[in-house]
Amino acid sequence: AKELQEKGHAYPCFCTSKRLEQMRQEQQRRKEAPCYDRLCLSLSEEDIEKKIAEGEKYVLRLRVPHEKLITFDDDIRGKVSFKGYTIDDQVLLKSDGFPTYHLANVVDDHLMDINIVIRGEEWLSSTPKHLLLFQYLGWKAPRYAHVPLLLNKDKSKLSKRQNDVSVQNYIDQEYL
């Protein structure tokens, strides 16, 4: 995270949860997708240092290049592209210093030498963020394959937390 910030690929955000909620409500009122408005991206180094010195809490956000088209080859879907301005500046480190899924996932995949990620299609929109992180950290990104979701009879997403989740339930149903 420190390396990303030093290279200008991440920036501190001091926005309060109250401000972020008001921003989201206003975006929803205008029928816009909720997305961080980048208010803190314009802070000067002096302002940032002052806020940190005063003990203001902040998160670290990924700086997504809005002018860039992020394209990748998905092993199932083929060529997929996202316009940079449609991708949110994702929080990478929470105010308590704990990494979010996006940063931890990329670091973990790199350290484990993962060469292909097969996951549900609901993660497709996260892929550009992950690819940017791999690029910014100078690491080789894995291949990606986004599979269609498995659905229940009622068309809701199949979940390991629904229906029988205990081995005993299957034993009681006489599964071997």
Active-site residue set: 160
Token pair for residue 169? Answer: 């339930």
Length of the chain: 176
41 in Cβ contact with 96 (< 8 Å): no
67 in Cβ contact with 16 (< 8 Å): no
- Write the CA distances from 10 to 4, 139, 168, integer angstroms: 5, 17, 48
Q: Which of 148, 110, 113, 147 is nearest to 130 (CA)?
A: 110
> In angstroms, rounded to a whole number, what is the distance separating the alpha carbons of residues 27 and 91?
19
Largest interatomic CA distance in the chain: 68
> In angstroms, rounded to a whole number, what is the distance separating the alpha carbons of residues 36 and 25?
12
89 in Cβ contact with 34 (< 8 Å): no
